[in-house]
Amino acid sequence: MEKIEVGEIFTITDENENENEVEVLASMTVEGADYIAVGFVEEIEVESEEDIDIFFLKIEEDGEFSYIENDDEFEKVSGAFESVMDEEE
């Protein structure tokens, strides 16, 4: 599997079959599983004081992405992301 790089931009399709460009903001491994934090490119490119929506995708063994549907898993990943962002500031 190719490593996903921070800053990489790709298109994902949501549950309504709408395509959206997202940019990778961070990648991390939590409890042996790989995840990426992404934001919509159109929100990132607009300079604003408002927060952008960030969401997390799990990288499956076959290289495909999946949404996190378990609340406990989401809490672990979002906590790890916050720690990474705090270290960078």
The secondary element (H helix, E strand) that includes residue 9 is strand 9-13
User: Region 55-84: what's the mean pLDDT?
Assistant: 90
Report which of residues 86 and 63 the model is more confident about: 63
pTM: 0.81
Domain with 61 in it:
9-88
For 18, 25, 30, 69, 80, the CA distances from 21, given in Å and listed in that order, are 10, 13, 25, 21, 24
> Does residue 4 fall inside a structural domain?
no
Q: What is the pLDDT of residues 9-67, one digit of tens each?
A: 999 888 899 999 999 998 999 999 999 999 999 888 776 667 788 889 999 989 888 98
For residues 52 and 39, the answer to whether their CB atoms sit within 8 Å is yes
> Does residue 51 fall inside a structural domain?
yes
> Does residue 3 fall inside a structural domain?
no
Look at the chain and report how many structural domains it folds into: 1
CA distance linking residue 68 with residue 8, whole number of Å: 20
